[in-house]
């Protein structure tokens, strides 16, 4: 395992221990609203502090971008850690056991290392650029579906951007009539990891943040998936609009989505 990935795994497991312990003690969880339909708990903040402490101890000169703490700059650093301490906060706060820790490392703008950890199932998804993706140390590959018929897709509702709801529902209807079924489980990081592991055949979502998707993008790509924006381009890091799956499934998804895209979703 790459030394920097090893540190990321240590940070993710440390945060996972905090989250799992708190999940078993719901009376100690404090939920706060930080934006429209956007919540944070004291556990998000505690887990992020544990991650930052672990990373800073090993790499004090690296830059960190955290969902809760924002940008922690380091002068002239080519390295940036992107962390989501608890992806699936609403699930966690409601007692739904489906959430994850997501940590990615970028070097000069390219994601090089990635970890997604599910502390409830003790499933650790990892990837290093050019070295493939793994689940608990075993190589994983994305599914081999050749068409939408029979596929299981995953998505996330645009709960932060409800102005896109009509377009989203049109896309949903178009895809639902073609595939076997669609899941909306509440953790984009795990959705991407599940595409990498072949559990889901494809995934799409509107308006994800870097901490939602940075680790999952690399893990999915290293497992053989394609990651694009809604028009098949590479603007997803700016727009947050992702389509993920094997090459045939991504082509099919984009084809079905195309007629329902508004101008803002094409950017």
Q: Hey, CA dihedral for 88, 94, 96, 101, is it positive or negative?
A: positive
As a whole number of angstroms, the distance between CA 105 and CA 82 comes to 6
**For position 69, what pLDDT does the model report?**
79
Percent of the chain with pLDDT over 70: 97
DSSP conformational letter for 237: H
67 pLDDT higher than 70 = yes
Mean pLDDT of all residues in 52-66: 94
**For position 266, what pLDDT does the model report?**
84
Q: Which two tokens stand for residue 139?
A: 């190589």
Phi/psi region, residue 95 (left: phi>0; alpha: psi -120 to 50; beta: rest), is left
For 128-138, write each residue's pLDDT tens digit. Answer: 999 999 999 99
8 Å CB contact between 129 and 185: no
Q: Which two tokens stand for residue 5?
A: 């990935």
**For position 73, what pLDDT does the model report?**
66
As a whole number of angstroms, the distance between CA 259 and CA 243 comes to 15
Does 3-140 match 152-266 in CATH topology?
no
60 pLDDT higher than 70 = yes
The 3-state DSSP class for residue 147 equals coil
Q: Please name the residue that has the structure tokens 């409800």.
A: 162
The CATH architecture one would assign to domain 152-266 is 3-Layer(aba) Sandwich (3.40)
**For position 75, what pLDDT does the model report?**
63
As a whole number of angstroms, the distance between CA 16 and CA 181 comes to 30
**For position 61, what pLDDT does the model report?**
92
Point out which residues pair with 72 in neighbouring strands.
64
Q: Which two tokens stand for residue 21?
A: 């312990």
Vertex 214: Cα angle to 107 and 181 (nearest 5): 155
Residues 6+ apart with CB under 8 A from 73: 63
For 15-48, write each residue's pLDDT tens digit. Answer: 999 999 999 998 889 988 876 666 889 999 999 9
Mean pLDDT of all residues in 114-131: 98
Confidence of residue 71 (pLDDT cuts 50, 70, 90): confident
**Helices 188-196 and 210-222 sit at what angle, rounded to 10 degrees?**
0
pTM as predicted:
0.95
Which has more pLDDT, 107 or 161? 107
As a whole number of angstroms, the distance between CA 99 and CA 86 comes to 7
Q: Domain-by-domain residue ranges, the chain?
A: 3-140, 152-266
As a whole number of angstroms, the distance between CA 35 and CA 52 comes to 23
Return the CATH number of the domain spanning residue range 3-140. 3.30.540.10
77 pLDDT higher than 90 = no
**For position 159, what pLDDT does the model report?**
80
Q: Which two tokens stand for residue 143?
A: 């599914």
């Amino acid at each position: 395992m790459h030394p920097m990935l090893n540190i990321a795994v240590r940070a993710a497991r440390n945060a996972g221990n905090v989250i799992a312990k708190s999940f078993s003690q719901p009376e100690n969880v404090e939920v706060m609203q930080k934006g429209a339909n956007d919540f944070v708990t004291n556990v998000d903040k505690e887990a992020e502090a544990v991650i930052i402490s672990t990373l800073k101890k090993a790499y004090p000169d690296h830059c960190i971008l955290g969902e809760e703490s924002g940008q922690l700059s380091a002068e002239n650093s080519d390295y940036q850690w992107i962390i989501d301490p608890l992806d699936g906060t609403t699930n966690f706060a409601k007692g739904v056991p489906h959430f994850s820790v997501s940590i990615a490392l970028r070097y000069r703008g390219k994601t090089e290392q990635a970890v997604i950890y599910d502390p409830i199932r003790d499933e650790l998804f990892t990837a290093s650029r050019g070295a493939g993706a793994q689940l608990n140390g075993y190589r994983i590959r994305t599914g081999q579906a050749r068409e939408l018929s029979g596929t299981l897709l995953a998505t996330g509702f645009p709960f932060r951007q409800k102005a896109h709801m009509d377009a989203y529902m049109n896309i949903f209807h178009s895809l639902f009539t073609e595939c076997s079924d669609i899941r909306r489980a509440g953790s984009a990081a795990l959705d991407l990891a599940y595409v990498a592991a072949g559990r889901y055949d494809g995934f799409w979502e509107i308006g994800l943040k870097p901490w939602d998707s940075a680790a999952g993008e690399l893990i999915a790509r290293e497992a053989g998936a394609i990651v694009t924006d809604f028009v098949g381009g590479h603007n997803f890091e700016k727009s947050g609009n992702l389509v993920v799956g094997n090459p045939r499934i991504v082509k099919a998804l984009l084809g079905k989505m195309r007629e329902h895209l508004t101008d803002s979703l094409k950017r």
